[in-house]
Amino acid sequence: MKNSSKIDAEIVYLLKVWGELSAFELLDRLNCCRRFKLGFGHLYPSLFRLEKQGSIAYRVERNVTEGKTQTQNYYRLEDSL
């Protein structure tokens, strides 16, 4: 199994268990028991691949605080899974 497909499978599992998670939350849970930690450079290609396959979807949440806009994406499994 290629490393990328293993990460994809772990992301799908985490979203099945936890429901909707941000990229930071996903990365935190993926790294909880790893000796060698993954970075966002490993996570985002997997998220893009899973989204392109139709396995996951995301929503964007924007918060404005003191004139600054913060954007965070929350990922979830598509209803078909």
pLDDT of residue 54: 95
Residue 54 domain boundaries: 3-77
pLDDT of residue 80: 52
Q: Which residues contact 21 (CB under 8 A, 6 or more apart)?
A: 14, 15, 29, 74, 75, 76
How many domains are there within the chain? Answer: 1
* Burial grade of 11 (CB within 10 A; 0-12, 13-18, 19 or more): buried
pLDDT of residue 35: 86
Q: Which residue has the higher pLDDT, 1 or 32?
A: 32
pLDDT of residue 33: 84
- Compute how many other C-beta atoms are within 10 angstroms of the C-beta atom of residue 50: 22
What confidence tens digit (pLDDT) does each residue in 7-57 have?
A: 999 999 999 999 999 999 999 999 988 888 999 999 999 999 999 999 999
CATH of the domain at 19: 1.10.10.10
| Residue pair 75/22 in contact by the 8 Å Cβ criterion | yes
pTM: 0.83
